[in-house]
């Protein structure tokens, strides 16, 4: 069947909430995707930071095949081995105390918000407690996660959202203090803002918010859905700052394409919820946990965090050189293998040209920023090839 026939069929059956690129992918191998015409594409988007191990990882695929022949689902009314093993490994990597497995990142954020509200309830703060979130943040599309997403464009069509959310300026500690009130029970933020433009938290800001939450007996909740799982050059980005959150969310690369997320808690957040307060039918089932468990094994076996540090430094160098050659690039931000280039104009034409003409998969973060979140297993030669193709696209669009 021709590519256009697949696209036409899709447009007939899918609810139109995505503007998809006119490419039909068939399979992947390593750090490349292949379409139904057999064309190869170098992937520097990783399914929006999901495919940390790349495509066709034999060790992971074999683990999933073994599990699918044994048991896929039991519900959380019973115990099963893959969840126990995945939970132990994730807690070891994150230095947290307790874990709850979800189906997605946005569900993990929902869990953190419920913990914040239950924490305030347990303290006798009434029912009008508040949570502080950051402007230009992104935490997901469900109503709770959307309520703490600091972007009017995403929020306005779905208002009224959850009440009691106040917004501060990212990397501005005084802004957080200014909106804190006696009703505030928690602060939620991304350690590195992704959708908002690839902005890492400054050390002064993150350590300052941690200290202020401690002073006021509030919770610090960190969203590591995109920047976690080794992408920053640390297993979790907050580990570079010398702070520790009360709760955190993780997803994306945790399952390497299998839909799994989790929220993890420690200290005073670890005993807030009681049986009956939260639940999920599919979350943490044997199949997805077998995948996550093997992903964590592979991360450790391959020393992927150290690899990200090395290749991330090389990506930074090559993008700096690219920015020096082109006046249309006005800023470069990020850490490890979550980096962004900010342009003087819209980047959609660059992304489109790169995909269709250079067969390079890129994604944006806002209208003027290209986001680089490739598979964590890329090598320096892949960075070189990406820069070559990207530069051709930049020249075609900006001259």
CA-nearest of 304, 268, 67, 253 to 186 is: 268
pLDDT-based confidence at residue 185 (cuts at 50, 70, 90) = very high
**Averaged pLDDT of the chain:** 97
pLDDT computed for residue 176 by the predictor: 98
Res. 19: pLDDT tops 90: yes
Domain with CATH 3.90.1150.10 in the chain: 3-57+304-398
pLDDT computed for residue 345 by the predictor: 97
pLDDT computed for residue 126 by the predictor: 79
CA-nearest of 63, 116, 107 to 89 is: 63
pLDDT computed for residue 399 by the predictor: 86
Mean pLDDT for 111-134 is: 94
Mean pLDDT for 17-36 is: 96
pLDDT digits (tens, 9 = 90+) for 226-271: 999 999 999 999 999 999 999 999 999 999 999 999 999 999 999 9
CATH architecture label of 3-57+304-398: Alpha-Beta Complex (3.90)
pLDDT-based confidence at residue 99 (cuts at 50, 70, 90) = very high
Contact between residue 290 and residue 258 where contact means Cβ atoms under 8 Å apart: no
Domain with CATH 3.40.640.10 in the chain: 71-301
Mean pLDDT for 301-327 is: 98
Mean pLDDT for 5-26 is: 95
Res. 128: pLDDT tops 90: no
pLDDT computed for residue 127 by the predictor: 82
pLDDT computed for residue 184 by the predictor: 97
Mean pLDDT for 179-207 is: 97
pLDDT computed for residue 125 by the predictor: 83
Give percent of the chain above pLDDT 70. 100
Mean pLDDT for 349-369 is: 97
pLDDT digits (tens, 9 = 90+) for 50-90: 999 999 999 999 999 999 999 999 999 999 999 999 999 99
pLDDT computed for residue 296 by the predictor: 98
CATH of domain 71-301: 3.40.640.10
Res. 1: pLDDT tops 90: no
**Lookup: tokens for 2:** 């021709």
């Amino acid at each position: 069947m021709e590519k256009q026939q697949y696209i036409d069929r899709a447009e007939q059956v899918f609810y139109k909430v995505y503007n998809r690129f006119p490419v039909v992918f068939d399979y992947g191998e390593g750090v490349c995707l292949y379409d139904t015409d057999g064309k190869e594409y170098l992937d520097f988007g990783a399914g929006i930071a999901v495919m940390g191990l790349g495509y066709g990882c034999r060790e992971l695929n074999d683990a999933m095949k073994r599990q699918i022949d044994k048991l896929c689902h039991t519900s959380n009314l019973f115990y099963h081995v893959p969840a126990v093993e995945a939970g132990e490994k994730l807690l070891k990597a994150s230095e947290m105390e307790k874990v709850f497995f979800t189906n997605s990142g946005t569900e993990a954020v929902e869990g953190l918000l419920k913990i914040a509200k239950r924490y305030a309830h347990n303290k006798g703060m009434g029912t009008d407690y508040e949570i502080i979130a950051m402007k230009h943040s992104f935490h997901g599309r469900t109503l709770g996660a959307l309520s703490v997403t600091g972007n009017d464009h995403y929020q306005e069509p779905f208002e009224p959202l959850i009440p009691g959310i106040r917004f501060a300026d990212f990397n501005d500690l005084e802004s957080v203090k200014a909106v804190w009130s006696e009703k505030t029970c928690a602060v939620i933020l991304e350690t590195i803002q992704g959708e908002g433009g690839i902005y890492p938290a400054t050390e002064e800001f993150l350590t300052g918010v941690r200290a202020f939450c401690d002073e006021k007996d509030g919770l610090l909740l960190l969203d590591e859905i995109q920047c976690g799982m080794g992408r920053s050059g640390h297993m979790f980005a907050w580990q570079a700052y010398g702070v520790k959150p009360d709760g955190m969310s993780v997803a994306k690369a945790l399952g390497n394409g299998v839909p799994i997320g989790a929220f993890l808690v420690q200290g005073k957040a670890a005993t807030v919820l009681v049986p009956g307060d939260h639940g999920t039918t599919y979350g943490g089932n044997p199949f997805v946990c077998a995948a996550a468990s093997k992903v964590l094994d592979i991360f450790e076996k391959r020393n992927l965090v150290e690899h990200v540090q090395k290749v991330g430094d090389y990506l930074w160098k090559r993008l700096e050189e690219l920015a020096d050659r082109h006046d249309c690039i006005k800023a470069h931000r990020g850490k490890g293998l979550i980096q962004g280039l900010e342009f003087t104009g819209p980047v959609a034409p660059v992304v489109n040209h790169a995909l269709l003409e250079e067969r390079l998969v890129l994604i944006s973060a806002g209208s003027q920023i290209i986001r680089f979140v490739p598979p964590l297993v890329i090598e320096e030669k892949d960075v070189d090839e990406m820069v070559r193709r990207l530069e051709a696209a930049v020249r075609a669009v900006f001259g």
